[in-house]
Every structure is written in structure tokens, then in C-alpha cells.
Amino acid sequence: MLKKLKNIGPGAMVAAAFIGPGTVTTATIAGSSYGFTLLWAILFSILATFLLQEMSSRLGVIGGMGVGEAIRQKVKYPILKYFSTFLVIGAIVIGNAAYEAGNITGAVLGFDVFTEKLTDLPFNPLIFVIGIAAFLLLFSGKYKLIERSLVVMVSVMGSVFLFSAAMLKPDLILILKGMFIPTLPKGALIMVIGLIGTTVVPYNLFLHASSVKERWSGPENLTDSRWDTAISVILGGMITMAILISSSVAFAGQNKVVSKGSDLAEQLYPILGEWSVFFIAFGFLAAGLSSSVTAPLAAAFATSEILGWKHDLKGKKFRWVWFFVLVNGLIFSSLGFNPTSVILFAQVANGMLLPIIALFLLWIVNDKNIMGKYSNTRLVNVLGSIVILLTLILGVRGILSAFQII
């Protein structure tokens, strides 16, 4: 088992990507509003994410290609190829550029209490420290350094939130009921979709296959890749559960409206004392910084592959893509500008992309010319079809939400 833990890498990047400030906030609000009753939604999202990410990683290990490369090679009709290229760039590049502001701002959210007395600026100056840290990590072009750094960040997140949940001494029976007896309280449907939607995200499919290629190749590495995916996705899910559990216990019996994850610090004070502020601050720092790195990286991977650029983390085109995403995030976060129209476009594009990419992934990993004997089994195809139906629902919901229909 120790050897398996040492081999964790690409999977941890996926966990680092989906445990961002948005996930922390969503899980906090879900716990404060509905207690333990929505834990089953997180458990379901763990299973769905593992299924899709395992197919993505298998494509990288056995097929030796990323999702973008597979699209470029398999889609022959010009119109469909142009459409898929537009959709990928729109959802992954433009979308991540819009969402990057949230990642950067979220990374310093817990430190506002320390900086608000030091400056009259309308924004936290620490966002530039986050931006520089992300820039230096990405500019290094060293996959191993990026991977190890993200593993550390995930470890910090896990330590902070799992420790916080344990210190609150939650009722284990209620936790088990919440995980294995699905219930849907009145008004909780949107929250359920939100919990699943923050975990099952399209850009992670690109990120995973591409990062696996950098780490492994050949059937002999398939077992290591699967363990990496399983351990990382489960850990990421446990972190989300820990946040929801902490919020459930901390806000039990209160009528206080919780709007963000940092509200947890106030409720953890009786148990952790002055350390509560530092715990939540560093939890957000790890979540925000890791997402601030993975979002630009995924955009660069997806663009390079879909456009057929040379695969090189130090290549000029590759760097220009992640630089575009990172700089836009810094601009939006420092100016306090909410790029509403860009986010609207990103929500629609991601809503369309998620089921399409999931369906394409299912198709490609059934191609014996690419996957050989490592193509999907019948059971995986059935489960994959169920997940695709889920992603379709999520996609439609995302599009309707973007236009404020629901």
C-alpha cells in the first residue's frame, strides 16, 4: 500500500482540480442547510467521477493519447471537427479563464481577516502572491514538480478538513444513513446537482489523460494508474464529505445563513480556538492555489491536443494558453469585475461539452484498434451509459441555469 501511495500523481491533480473554493463553499452550504442528508450525492459523484476518470487515464496509458488528440484523430467530418474544436476551446479555455478569478480569490479568502487592516485596497493583495506562485510552477515546465506540488496541496486540504470534521465528533450513525440512504429534502435538488456538478467536470477528463501520458505508458503501468485514480478520487470525495460534515455539526440547530466556506472558522472557534481561522485559511489556500494551477494547465493541454500542436510543457504556444487563463483570472479578481457574459458563455459551453465528451470517451475506449484487449467491459459500458445520462442532466441544468430559467 505504501508503494501505491508513493505512486500517486495524475489522480491527485484531478482531486486538486475539483476540490476548489467553489466545492468548499457548496459543501459548506449543503451541510448547514440539509445536515448529513446529502452525503449520498457526494458518494454518487465519487463513483461517477472514478468511472469517467478511469476511462480517461486508461486512454492515456494504453492509447498513449489525450482526449483532445483522440477527438482530432477520430472525428473525420470537417463540420463536426470544427464544432468540437470550438466547443473545447470555448468551454475549457474561455471557461477556465473566467473561473480562474474565483480560484485565485478563493485561495486568499481565509486571509482577509489578516490583510483588511493593512491596506485600503478594494482587493486582497495576496492574490498576486497566488498568481506569481501559480506562474512560477507552470513556467517551470517540469511535470514532476507540478505533480508533486499538487499532491502536497491535496494533502494539506485533506489534513485540514478531515481533522476539523473529526474534532467536531459527528454522529457516525447519521453519517452512514446520509451516505447510504438517499433522501431528497424539499428544495435540495439544485444543491444535489451542484454537489455532483462540482466533482464531475469536463476539463478533468482532458487533464487526466494528458497528465497520465507524462507519467506512464504501456499495459504494465495500468494497475498503478488505476490505484492512483481510485485513491485520489476517494480522497477528494472524503475531503468534500468532511467539509459537509463539519458544516452540518457546526451549524446544527442554528438559523444563520451560511454564504461561504470561511464561515466555518467562526463555528469551529469553540473547538480549535484561535487556530480555527488559520485552519480554514490554509484549507482555502490549498484549494484555491491547486485549482489556480490545474485550470490553466488543463486549458493548455486541451488546446494543444485539439489543435495538433507539439506536446511540450515548455513550448511557447502551450505557455501562452495557460498564461492567458492565469492573467485573466488575476485581472478579474483584482478589479473586482464579474465577467458575467463570459461566465454565461462558459456555462453553456460546459453544459454542452460534458455529456458530449463523456459519450466520446465511452466510444473511444471501446475502440479495439486503440485500446486492444483493454477496451471497456459490458459492465463498464452500462455504468458509463448511466453516468452519461447524469452528465446530460447536469449539462441541461447548467444551460438552463445560465439563462436563469431554473
Tens of pLDDT, residue by residue over 258-284, are 666 666 676 677 667 777 777 778 888
Q: How far is CA 66 from CA 75, 209, 258, 363, in A?
A: 14, 5, 40, 14
Determine contact, residues 91/350, Cβ cutoff 8 Å.
yes
**Residues 320, 302, 228: CA angle, nearest 5 degrees:** 115
In eight-state DSSP terms, residue 251 is T
Q: What is the pLDDT of residue 400?
A: 73
- Which domain covers residue 382, as residue numbers? 2-402
Q: Report d(CA 147, CA 228) in Å as an integer.
A: 12
Residues of the chain with pLDDT under 50: none
Give the other-Cβ count within 10 Å of 403's Cβ.
Answer: 10
- For residue 339, report the phi and psi dihedrals to the nearest 5 degrees: -75, 70
Determine contact, residues 5/231, Cβ cutoff 8 Å.
yes
Q: Report d(CA 260, CA 249) in Å as an integer.
A: 16
- For residue 258, report the phi and psi dihedrals to the nearest 5 degrees: -100, 125
Q: Quickly tell me which residue has 457526494 as its cell.
A: 42
**Residues 31, 112, 264: CA angle, nearest 5 degrees:** 20
CATH of the domain at 320: 1.20.1740.10
pTM of the model: 0.88
Q: What is the pLDDT of residue 197?
A: 80
Q: What is the pLDDT of residue 173?
A: 95
C-alpha cell at position 278: 488559520
Q: Report d(CA 85, CA 81) in Å as an integer.
A: 6
- For residue 149, report the phi and psi dihedrals to the nearest 5 degrees: -65, -40
**Residues 144-179: tens digit of each pLDDT:** 899 889 888 888 888 888 888 888 889 999 999 999
Q: Report d(CA 80, CA 3) in Å as an integer.
A: 44
Q: What is the pLDDT of residue 100?
A: 87
Q: Which of 194, 236, 95 lies closest to 394, judged by CA?
A: 194
Q: What is the pLDDT of residue 75?
A: 86
**Residues 218-252: tens digit of each pLDDT:** 899 999 999 999 999 999 999 999 989 988 988 87
Q: What is the pLDDT of residue 220?
A: 92
Region of residue 265 (phi > 0: left; psi between -120 and 50: alpha; otherwise: beta):
alpha
Determine contact, residues 354/203, Cβ cutoff 8 Å.
no
Q: What is the pLDDT of residue 392?
A: 83
- For residue 269, report the phi and psi dihedrals to the nearest 5 degrees: -60, -45
Q: What is the pLDDT of residue 108?
A: 80
Total domain count for the chain?
A: 1
In eight-state DSSP terms, residue 80 is H
Q: What is the pLDDT of residue 293?
A: 94
In eight-state DSSP terms, residue 93 is I
Q: What is the pLDDT of residue 138?
A: 95
Give Cβ neighbours of residue 369 (< 8 Å, ≥ 6 apart). none
